[in-house]
Amino acid sequence: MIIGYRRYQDDTFLVYKKNRLDEILNIFQNLNKKIVITVEKPVDTKLKFLDFEIYTDKEKGSLEIKSYIKDTVPMHFKDVAPKSMKKGMLVGELVRSTIKNSQNKTLEDDFKRIQEKYTQQEYPDSMIKEAIDQVKMGSKSKIDWEAEKAENPSRNFTMKIPYTSDRVKKVSNEIRKSLKAYLPDFNLHFAHKTITVRNTIIRNLCPKVDSKNSLNSVYMFSCDCGIRYIGETENLFNRVQDHQQPSKETAIYSHTSECEIFKSNFDSCFTKNNFENRFSFLLDKFEILHRNLEYKERTQYEALEIKLRDPKLNRQIKHKAIEII
């Protein structure tokens, strides 16, 4: 029934006997009713699978593969980034092309398409030609840097420098030359990160979110004296405010208003006993145990944590009970 079978994660390639597709599909669908299986058939003896195109060579009568190329280039040549990074990106795409083409003719066609799209992004013809020659001839590097770093980690170091202009490359080369002059056995490698609007200007404009400002969470309060309390809430900041208000009559408020260690530590940190200082000091005693839970899940996790940790302040508070078998 099935002549050939290859799978990559949730994508499967099948070669099957004629008129047996419905039978095969029925078998797969009965394995798990929750999984929806879709079928894509070849069009004009061509089938797109992952980033390949599988086709039938009519002369040989065999299945062949060729690259299915994207029309975009991740980086324009005028973008502020090291030339080595741009060339490496080009070489990487050419190398992947050699893997994804089973015939020389389709490989050459692939190289031409890659050359055209990089030329449109103003990559120099000399760089493109050099990259193609490098891939065709194989790597010329005499050093296997992966093996070198693995075998001698103590003499191989990597420095990360933001790439703000072409001057960064010159500075990197000067640093490398200076190091070689005094420590010839050591190798310094540079990793450059390009500067973008997203990770500079926009990131600084976004308001910082406190990690404790959590919604739908299970939390634990730990006093400096060792007393603990576990609870659940929709909004932790609002709940902390409740825990410092006398009118709410919470277990945490009752404890902190009487605990000498808690009050002494607060007085040593703050000179003014106001709402902001009390809130900041109290919030620091809270820890998020679980977050992003529906109400039923919160109460279950709360009960489980109380059972496992046995916090003293929860003993007089009504909460969901749970038994561990």
pLDDT digits (tens, 9 = 90+) for 281-317: 999 999 999 988 999 999 999 999 998 899 999 886 6
Contact indicator for 23, 1 with CB cutoff of 8 Å: yes
Tell me: do 249 and 308 sit in the same domain: yes
In a domain, 17, yes or no: yes
Indicate whether 229 and 309 sit together in one domain. Answer: yes
Residue 227 Cα distances to 104, 251, 252, angstroms: 74, 11, 10
Residue 210 Cα distances to 40, 71, 113, 214, angstroms? 47, 42, 49, 8
Q: What is the CATH number of the domain that holds 238?
A: 3.40.1440.10
Q: How far apart are CA 295 and CA 216, in angstroms?
A: 7
Structure confidence at residue 182 (pLDDT): 87
Q: How far is the first Cα of the chain from the last one, in angstroms, to the nearest whole number? A: 49
Residues of the chain with pLDDT under 50: none
User: Do 220 and 199 belong to one domain?
Assistant: no
Predicted pLDDT at 24: 84
304 within some domain:
yes
Q: Do residues 114 and 183 share a domain?
A: no
Nearest to 252, CA basis, from 216, 289, 278: 278
Single out the residue in 183, 204, 225 at which a domain terminates. Answer: 204
Same domain, 124 and 184: no
233 lies in a domain?
yes
Predicted structure pTM score:
0.40
pLDDT given for residue 57 in this prediction? 79
146 found inside a domain = no
The verdict on 238 and 264 lying in the same domain is yes
Same domain, 131 and 160: no
Q: Are residues 174 and 235 in the same domain?
A: no
Residue 323 domain flag: no
* 284 and 223 co-located in one domain: yes
Determine the Cα–Cα distance for residues 320 and 235; give it in Å rounded to an integer: 20
| Number of domains observed in the structure of the chain | 4
Q: What is the pLDDT of residue 69?
A: 61
Structural domain contains residue 252:
yes
Same domain, 310 and 250: yes
- 80, 124 contact by CB (below 8 A): no
The CB-side HSE value for 247 (13 A sphere, CA atoms) comes to 1
Q: What pLDDT is stored for residue 54 in this prediction?
A: 82
Residue 178 lies in a domain: yes
Q: Are residues 29 and 89 in the same domain?
A: no
Integer Cα distance of 297 and 234 in angstroms: 12
Give the structural domain span for 129: 83-137
Is 145 part of any domain?
Answer: no
Q: Do 194 and 219 lie in a common domain?
A: no
